[in-house]
Structure 1
Amino acid sequence: MNQDALTSVLESDGEERYDFFLRQVGEEREIWILVNAENRFLKIVSEDGDVEYLPVWPSEAFAAEYGKGSDDLTPKRIPLPDFFRKWVPGLTKDGLDVGVLPGVDETLWITEPEELKRDLQDELASF
């Protein structure tokens, strides 16, 4: 994906980015996160501490773009079956939501892991 296409998606609103994410993950069958040097995933906590979430991206390019400027964050691929089998139960147990494809406008589609799983399964059924 070239920089113009990447920027175009990142400038769209949260709902459009969520739909794009579902389509891309449906096609590629993988989710991308950012991890640090200790292989710990990036978790974002809202300023008031009310919301904690794992940001996710549909491709390495989007994750890398978000991690730009950080020395120790690198994209990590999670195959979709692993996300369903390991990550969704783990995130649910830890009370973490999922922040789908953060954009440039600071808006974000935040969802529960099980809801994202259902939406992805619905998307997969259309293939």
Structure 2
Amino acid sequence: MPSQFHDVIQMSPEKRHAYLLTQATINQKIWILTDEHGCVMLNSEDEDCVPVWPSEEFAKYWATGDWADCTPKAITLSDWFDRWTRGLEGDGVNIAVFPNPDEEGIVVFPDVFDSELKERNQSKLN
């Protein structure tokens, strides 16, 4: 495992959150994990959440134990904006932003995450 990878995993949840927003803007995609039932969900304090990562490598690294059979899947930002935000809001599902292997991460509402991504994406274009 490269030291930069290890350094990122060790960051605080807030710094991993910022890292994900930056990487998603650069690469124009977000990564989720899927299994035979679809998108992997986590339960955090009575909230259902979809965990998201900035790269396939981070998603794979997280997929151990009960999640070892999961497959990383890329979602383009345009698909995320077009379908995911509204779908997650409609289902009452939040987003676990870049959880580490201990499942520590920031949980945000889909509309907040959408706004953060759009704001970061817009500043990249200017």
Whether TM exceeds 0.5 here: the answer is: yes
- Look up the match of 2:98: 101
Where structure 1 has 5 or more consecutive residues not aligned to the other structure, the ranges are: none
- Look up the match of 2:109: 112
**Residues 12-31 of structure 1: matches in 2 within 5 Å?**
12-31=11-30
Q: Give RMSD over aligned pairs.
A: 1.5
- Kindly tell me the number of residue pairs found equivalent between the two proteins: 123
Q: Does 1:84 align with 2:81?
A: yes
| Shift >2 Å, 4+ stretches | 68-71, 104-107
8 Å Cα contact 1:12/1:103 also seen in 2: no
Where structure 2 has 5 or more consecutive residues not aligned to the other structure, the ranges are: none
Q: TM-score, length-normalised on structure 2? A: 0.90
- What is the rounded CA distance, in whole Å, between the counterparts of 2:20 and 2:34 in structure 1? 20
Residue 66 to residue 9, structure 1, CA distance change in 2 (3 Å): same
Q: TM-score, length-normalised on structure 1? A: 0.90
Q: Does 1:51 align with 2:55?
A: no
Which of 40, 43, 48 matches 1:42?
40
The Cα of 1:72 is off from its aligned counterpart by 1.8
